[in-house]
Amino acid sequence: MSSEKLITFKTSDGEEFKLNVVVAVRSEVIKNIVQDVDSTFNVIPLSNVDGKTMTKIVQYWKKYSEEGVTEDRLKSFDLDFLKMSQSELVGVLLAAIFFDDKQLKEVIIQEFADRIKGKPIEEIHEVFGIVNDYTPEEEEEVRRENAWAFE
């Protein structure tokens, strides 16, 4: 029998993930749960995280929990990891917020910033599905008042 302590997660769509506690405690939320209960006999329900998203979270946690992994390998991993659609990225960000994984949140927020950097406002609206409810006159006034933001 393995001495490895496992924790089981059950996603909103019924998928179960068994993870080593050492990996799972990258999440501050899970760290607190593990401290409070004997998690080896319990399943932690994740009502707001689906299986596809949890697969990405587990992939990230495992890579960042590997011993001896170099900074260059982690940067390379991040580049591949972040190659996902906007909606997948949002899902992973929401899960990272739920799990209180500060590092993963920062990586994803930086990716969002990189994706919109230097793009015209109209394209940013399109990327994020933002409806412009200003009239052309109101928009022109905002652009005049905040010219520095449009440079």
What pLDDT score does 139 carry?
A: 87
For residue 1, what pLDDT is reported? 42
* DSSP state for residue 44 in the 8-state scheme: E
pLDDT at res. 37: 64
Domain ranges of the chain: 6-117
| Superfamily (CATH) of domain 6-117 | Potassium Channel Kv1.1; Chain A (3.30.710.10)
pTM attached to this predicted model: 0.80
DSSP letters for 102-149: HHHHHHHHHHHHHHHTT--HHHHHHHHT----S-HHHHHHHHHHTGGG
Please report how the helices 86-99 and 28-36 are oriented relative to each other, as an axis angle in degrees rounded to 10. Answer: 40
Residue at token pair 């799972």: 24
Burial of 136 (0-12, 13-18, 19+ CB in 10 A): exposed
**Total length of the chain:** 151
Supply the angle between the helices 102-116 and 51-65 in degrees, to the nearest 10: 110
Q: List per-residue pLDDT tens for the chain, 151 residues long.
A: 445 788 899 999 999 999 998 898 889 888 888 776 654 557 889 999 999 999 999 999 999 999 999 999 999 999 999 999 989 999 999 999 999 999 999 999 999 999 989 898 888 888 778 888 888 899 899 889 998 887 7
Distance separating alpha carbons of residues 9 and 45, to the nearest angstrom: 6
